[in-house]
Structure 1
């Protein structure tokens, strides 16, 4: 059944709205300490750029055979040009708002001997201007009818704001068949996510959103219910790292999906893969448990790779064929 679900992903549409960023990697080696300060001197041997933030979510959907539409903002700078070029190379449809008032968000990671030495962030955090917000909603009104599922990819850079949500949720809910709204949350913005269809926090984000410690089954259930009380969301998926996922279909139907990761090298971007896979599966008409099970397989693939990776249908087929069917269990207090 799951193998058939992988085939069914192809060609379905998902809209991604959120914070776009450029992941910049400088890789090399260290042979000496600087005479200017007690810091290593990294001799750069390789440089690369990757789509980050909402762009990585869209890339995951495209790599799974889906048809994403990526909506975000970039600066009128060289990094914005690089980001747009990466989107084009990845085959992504985009509607990008050019914001001359702030730079394209860039995260530069300097890596020596496979170890991160330092990360340098270039960004300006803040909401869109009123004129840019109007442009954004013209784009949304034009494209909403074609998309059954929308992801809000919030990295706390300001694209997802109170002003945005105050206009976005009524726009969505006014449709005769409202699209599903999925949110990868940022703790600082939790109160913006009222009434969404699926929230996908990790353990730390769930703990912060519930204002409760999360460590074992009973505390996960308590935190999940506290999030329902706070936000009135319809469903909740808490990703538990090596312990899999807890899927709440409402406050009282809670199921545990065990992890499928055979080895864990790097969890970078795993949350992007989870929400991208679940959204595409829902767009293909699957039920939520099947969508989240598929997302769990995909996350198991990407954590076995270094950097913000993505899973392909071939990766999923291979992983599903090699591993036993998941033993999904109901959780009660």
Structure 2
């Protein structure tokens, strides 16, 4: 795959539409320093010097698509609380179109990370896990019916908070598969929900998630292939992309066509959000009409950009073009048993 082809693909991302459905959360950071131990307990006292909020979960996926030049529609649930207001404001700042269901019985999911001297001291989660109520589920499917015709690709961003549930999937998959031109359905999986993803177009687990989904250890090429085929047997999905961290990606287009895409990361500081970047870039490229290999190759470049930054970062078209121009052409190879 030549540099020219990849650069043309980057330019082609602009303006295409992707729907993101899933667990929304607010990433809250308290950053400071430690100069003493608490007299109340043997724990550090963090003197907070900075505070920030970022979109997390499905919101970070949507932000990745927007920053690449796409047009995401973000569908999720927030609480009727101050954190929900902050999350909605962040969506507006990021230029995201949203259809958010307000749930007065469920707080907005917040993950507070307390960081001192560039090291996380503790994380505090505020959340309530569970499916939407029947009334909220009905509202969700009215929203989906109204918007599905405009979106050729859908991401299910599952963080195990309950938005992607058995009740949801039992209604969702027949609805999309019953359309004359069904949208592609891509899933970033949560291990506990694997059996919900029957028949999706693309699953994007990392090595750990693939191992857990296949109930097999994954350590080398042979075990990756074996785990991938076990996932196909379990779910009947059409394609599978296993992200391998510093070893790149394994792309299964069916059980017997397996290609390895090498990593494009020049340096790795933080893998936070890399999975969001991979599925976001892949989905946007597919919405632009690219083949799956090209889409995943672009996603690998984008992941290489974000892991070189600290925190849940995103990649822009300029970032991708710079990375493509600086690195040699990717050597994609077929994996045989």
Tell me the TM-score range normalised by the shorter chain: over 0.9
Deviation at 1:212, TM superposition (A): 0.1
Counterpart secondary structure, 1:120: strand
Once the two structures are superposed, what CA deviation does each residue of 1:106-149 show, in whole Å capped at 9, x if it has no partner?
A: 00000000000000000000000000000000000000000000
Q: Alpha-carbon deviations, 1:237-264, whole Å to 9, x = none?
A: 0000000000000000000000000000
Q: What is the SS of the residue equivalent to 1:17?
A: strand
Which residue does the alignment assign to 1:56?
Answer: 60
State the Cα deviation string for residues 60-99 of structure 1 (Å, max 9, x = none): 0000000000000000000000000000000000000000
Which of the residues 123, 130, 136 maps onto 2:127?
123
- SS of equivalent residue, structure 1 residue 95: strand
Cα deviation for residue 44 of structure 1 reads 0.1
CA distance in 1, matches of 2:261, 2:198: 25
Residue aligned with 1:22, SS: strand
How many angstroms does 1:275 deviate by? 0.1
**Whole-Å Cα distance in 1 between the matches of residues 9 and 296 of structure 2?**
12
CA distance in 2, matches of 1:192, 1:325: 38
Shift of 1:7: 0.3
Q: How many residues align?
A: 333
1:258-273 → structure 2 map (5 Å cutoff): 258-273=262-277
1:204 equivalenced with 2:237 (yes/no)? no
Q: Structure 1: how far apart are the matches of 2:46 and 2:276? A: 30
- Give 1:29 deviation, angstroms: 0.2
CA-CA distance at 1:58 after TM superposition: 0.0
1:331 paired residue among 300, 312, 335: 335
Return the offset for 1:210: 0.1
1:283 shift after superposition: 0.1
- Post-superposition Cα deviations, 1:144-185, rounded to whole Å, max 9, x if no partner, equal 000000000000000000000000000000100000000000
| C-alpha RMSD of the superposition | 0.2
What secondary structure sits across from 1:108 in the alignment?
strand
The 1-side partners of 2:198 and 2:146 are apart by 24
CA distance in 2, matches of 1:222, 1:100: 45
Provide the rounded CA distance (Å) in 2 between the counterparts of 1:197 and 1:100.
Answer: 34
Could you tell me which residue of structure 2 aligns to residue 41 of structure 1?
A: 45
* Aligned partner of 1:289 among 293, 314, 317: 293
Instruction: Please list the CA deviations of residues 165-211 of structure 1 after superposition, one character each: whole Å capped at 9, or x if unmatched.
Output: 00000000010000000000000000000000000000000000000
Q: Secondary structure at the match of 1:91?
A: coil
Question: Alpha-carbon deviation of 1:318?
Answer: 0.1
- Flag structure 1 segments of 5+ consecutive residues without an equivalent: none
Where 1:228 maps in the other structure, the secondary structure is helix
TM-score (norm 2): 0.99
Shift of 1:213: 0.1
- Deviation, 1:9, is 0.1
Q: Distance in 1 between matches of 2:78 and 2:328?
A: 43
CA distance in structure 2 between the aligned counterparts of 1:239 and 1:258, rounded to whole angstroms: 10
Runs of 4+ in 1 over 2 A off after TM superposition: none
C-alpha distance in structure 1 between counterparts of 2:298 and 2:253, whole Å: 16
In the TM superposition, residue 265 of structure 1 has moved relative to its aligned partner by: 0.2
Gaps of 5+ in 2: none
Q: CA deviation at 1:41?
A: 0.2
Deviations along 1:8-41, whole A, 9 cap, x unmatched? 0000000000000000000000000000000000
1:193 aligns to 2:200 (yes or no): no
Instruction: Trace 1:36-185 onto structure 2 (pairs within 5 A).
Output: 36-185=40-189
Measured in 2, the distance between the counterparts of 1:185 and 1:102 equals: 23
User: Could you say what secondary structure the match of 2:260 adopts?
Assistant: strand
Post-superposition shift, 1:280? 0.1
Within 2, Cα distance between the matches of 1:242 and 1:203? 11
State the alpha-carbon separation in 1 of the partners of residues 33 and 98 from structure 2: 37
